[in-house]
Amino acid sequence: MTPTDPTVRALVEAINADNRQDFAALLAPDATMSDDGTDRDLHQWVDREIFGVNGHMEVLSESGGGRALIARFRNDTWGEMRTRWSFTVQDGRIQRFETGQA
């Protein structure tokens, strides 16, 4: 399924296309994130969990107007897992995202 929120949809498309430039353009300059409830350095996490290891997201369901997702996420490090994602979007940019196992 495709997320209905246009910013979140573009972020998922950037992840699946391995397009770091488009991904970065969707983030607010001061964007933050957390993984399993722990705040992480966003840029290090993205390198380690998405772009450095062939990350891919298959959205299974959404809520919150397309800003909360359940997805199958896979990468070369961890394999495939069921994950949850929530996004704070302002003015077409991701201010924060939170992810973890679902």
- What is the residue type of 72? R
Mean pLDDT taken over the chain: 97
Rounded CA-CA distance 64/56 in Å is 22
75 lies in a domain?
yes
Question: Alpha helices of the chain — where are they, by DSSP H?
Answer: 6-16, 20-25, 42-46
61 lies in a domain?
yes
1 lies in a domain?
no
In the chain, the largest separation of any two C-alpha atoms, in whole Å, equals 34
Mean pLDDT over 75-94 rounds to: 97
12 lies in a domain?
yes
Give the three-class secondary structure for 50: helix
Q: How confident is the model at residue 37 (pLDDT cuts 50, 70, 90)?
A: very high
Rounded CA-CA distance 55/73 in Å is 7
Q: How confident is the model at residue 32 (pLDDT cuts 50, 70, 90)?
A: very high
pLDDT for res 86? 98
Q: How confident is the model at residue 42 (pLDDT cuts 50, 70, 90)?
A: very high
CATH number at residue 83: 3.10.450.50
Among 96, 6, 7, 13, which residue's Cα sits nearest to residue 59?
13
